[in-house]
Amino acid sequence: MESFWLCDDCMFAAAYEDYSTLSLYYTMDEIEKRITGLHHGLVQLMPISADFDPETGNGIRTFSPLPCEGCDSHLHGQRHRFTRL
């Protein structure tokens, strides 16, 4: 199975269709652009399913310098594993 590592923004968008955390970091104009970028990147990967366990930490990299495979963000941070169905 093919796996992908997604940033927190993509994880919330893919798993929960939740974009509310974007308002913590971006202006209203930037939020619209960010949502468009997230959606475009995730559509390219679909269909995917979450493949991480928050209780055990399996499938979660707490800090990764690698870019997000969904939105191509190069910001370092947490990554969550998703698998193509």
The fraction of the chain above a pLDDT of 90, given in percent, is 78
* Nearest residue to 35 via CA among 46, 52, 51, 23: 23
Given the structure tokens 């399996």, which residue do they identify?
A: 58
Range of the domain at 61: 3-84
For residue 78, is pLDDT > 90? yes
pLDDT tens digits, 28-68: 989 999 999 999 999 999 999 999 999 999 999 999 999 99
Count of domains forming the chain: 1
For residue 16, is pLDDT > 90? no
The fraction of the chain above a pLDDT of 70, given in percent, is 100
The average pLDDT across 11-30 equals 89
